[in-house]
Amino acid sequence: MKTDLNQIDQKYQYGFKDKIKPVYTTGAGLNENVVRKISAEKHEPQWMLAIRLRAFHIYQRMPMPNFGPDLSHLNLNKIHYFQRDSDHVSRSWDDVPDTIKNTFQKIGVPQAERKYLAGAEAQYESEAVYTNLKSDLKKMGIIFMDTDSALKKHPDLVKQYFGKLVGAATNKFTALNTAVWSGGTFIYVPKGVHATVPLQSFFRINAGNTGQFERTLIIVDEGASINYVEGCTAPTYSEDSLHAAVVEVFVKKDAFCRYTTIQNWSHNVYSLETKRAVADAHARMEWIDGNLGSKITMKYPSVDLNGPYASGSMLSIAFAKHGVYQDTGAIMRHHAPYTSSNVISKSICKDGGVCNYRGKEKIEPNSKHSKSHVECDTIIMDDQSTTDTIPANIVRNGDSTMEHEARVSKISENDLYYLMSRGLSEKQATKMIIMGFIEPFSKQLPMEYAVELNKLIDLQM
């Protein structure tokens, strides 16, 4: 029997709503005047307005994606493309407006910052409301702030990297993001600097019919390293909301970046994201990606392995139940010799949910002696749920290795019998098997986030 969506949403931990009246909004719908208003409200330089307008005209011409989930029910004319709920970015938690502060206290921002993080940023609707970086990292030259502030304080750095990996013409939603982007995270790590504890951002959509279009830029200079974690939530509405982020990550020679995302959207959110990284010689880029909830997710983080001995990896989990369509995967492009990539995808679907893996591995002729491994595992918990694996594996030289394996299974009756014979109920035994299935993902998270993930999975179960 399928689970009722209302029953699911009543249990959704972050489904509460705040009664906040925006201090500024462009209203529903999008046209060139709205794009100009967004840029004017942010007091942006002329070159950024030119980028926005060019992207808007590309957006108008581009069709919707012709693959994956059906997006025909997404009414882009009803979306509010820019909403500001606070008139400044606070550097002290005490300065955040009380209603917004209470929201982020409920989802753990101040606790996370005090206990674990080197820095934290909180974005509410279209813009950041809080950002802070610990003083010892500031002294090391690390820049960590919202992208709007970075455009004002470091315009040359933003101009150098903005749109260099993800152009407006990549797809319809990257064009939309480039036209109306707001908020997001900007990080620059200088040469040889190692941030030993994570930086984190929290993204919250509060109102219905809302679009969130953050733009994230991360530059990890030669020999440096960074660990970045982001979390995303939204309340439950009957109206659809849209989250169409763009992320660009530059990992220079001998550098390291780990980018972790835990998205726990409610079932009225379309999460349509584009994330792309480039790794130079001997650099390493790691994507760790968790997708729980949302109405539709389309997300395929990629790595361009541009230098010899560069490596990229993707470790992901997706959980889909009734009313949820997860179309996720990874893209690895090998452009240099002795490069390596590793993709591990875990998915679980129940109550009629859909989980698809869609990926691409490409080894070019000049990428000799390269290695690529893809592993896709899915557990289907009933006869109503579906899953597909849709890979594209391309090898253009005879000196490289490509491995791909995919497995779809149900929960083993033998495993259930064994655990139940040791005194566990069927529900407890099922949960234990699922937790063991996602263990390769959860063990990569900091302890506090692994505990939170286990709670979220338990809630989904």
Residue 408 belongs to a domain: no
Across all residues in the chain, what is the average pLDDT? 82
The predicted pLDDT at position 5 comes to 37
Domains: count for the chain = 2
pLDDT tens per residue, range 48-66: 999 999 999 999 999 999 9
Say what the pLDDT of residue 197 is. Answer: 76
CA distance 303 to 285: 7
CA distances (Å), 99 to each of 95, 106, 203, 210, 305, in order?
11, 11, 16, 18, 44
- pLDDT interval class at 291 (50, 70, 90): confident
Instruction: Answer whether residue 308 is part of any domain.
Output: no
Task: Name the residue range of residue 453's domain.
Answer: 419-461
Query: Are 260 and 291 contacting, i.e. CB atoms less than 8 angstroms apart?
Result: no
Segment 436-444 mean pLDDT: 75
Render pLDDT for 377-427 as a digit per residue (tens, 0 to 9): 998 988 899 999 999 999 999 999 999 998 888 887 777 777 778 888 877
Q: What is the pLDDT of residue 421?
A: 82
Q: Which of 299, 328, 353 is the last residue of a domain?
A: 299
- Say whether pLDDT at 374 is over 60: yes
Dihedrals φ, ψ of 212, to 5°? Answer: -120, 125
User: Is residue 321 in some structural domain?
Assistant: no
Q: Please count the residues of the chain.
A: 461
Q: 403 with 374: CB under 8 angstroms?
A: yes
- Residue 200: its pLDDT value, please? 78
Q: What is the mean pLDDT of residues 4-29?
A: 54
Q: Confidence band (pLDDT; 50, 70, 90) for 12? A: very low
Q: pLDDT exceeding 70 applies to what percent of the chain?
A: 77
Task: Out of 270, 299, 328, pick the residue that ends a domain.
Answer: 299
- pLDDT, residue 91, reads 47
Q: Are 432 and 295 members of one domain?
A: no
For 20, 71, 97, 318, the CA distances from 74, given in Å and listed in that order, are 25, 6, 32, 22
| Separation in Å, CA 102 to CA 14, 20, 129, 146, 343 | 12, 12, 13, 21, 38
Residue 377 lies in a domain: no
Taking residues 195-203, report their average pLDDT. 77
The region of weakest confidence among 4-18, 124-138, 139-153 is 4-18
Question: Residue 207: is its pLDDT beyond 70?
Answer: no
pLDDT: which is higher, 312 or 99: 312
Of 206-210, 220-224, 225-229, 409-413, which gets the smallest average pLDDT? Answer: 206-210
Contact of 239 with 267, CB cutoff 8 Å: no
Q: Is residue 327 part of a domain?
A: no
Residue 347 covered by a domain: no
Count of other CB atoms within 10 angstroms of residue 47 = 11
Neighbours of 198 (CB within 10 A): 21
In this structure, are residues 116 and 451 in contact, taking their beta carbons and an 8 Å threshold? no
Q: Which of 267, 299, 331 is the last residue of a domain?
A: 299
Q: What is the mean pLDDT of residues 204-211?
A: 68
* Of residues 375, 376, 368, 366, the one with CA closest to residue 401: 368
Q: Is residue 103 part of a domain?
A: yes
The verdict on 128 and 265 lying in the same domain is: yes
Amino acid letter for position 333: R
Average pLDDT (252-269) is 88
| 73-129 per-position pLDDT tens digit | 999 999 989 877 544 444 454 554 554 445 445 545 545 544 444 445 555 555 555
SS3 217: strand
| Domain assignment present for 387 | no
The identity of residue 163, as a single letter, is G
461: how many CB neighbours lie within 10 A of its CB? 15
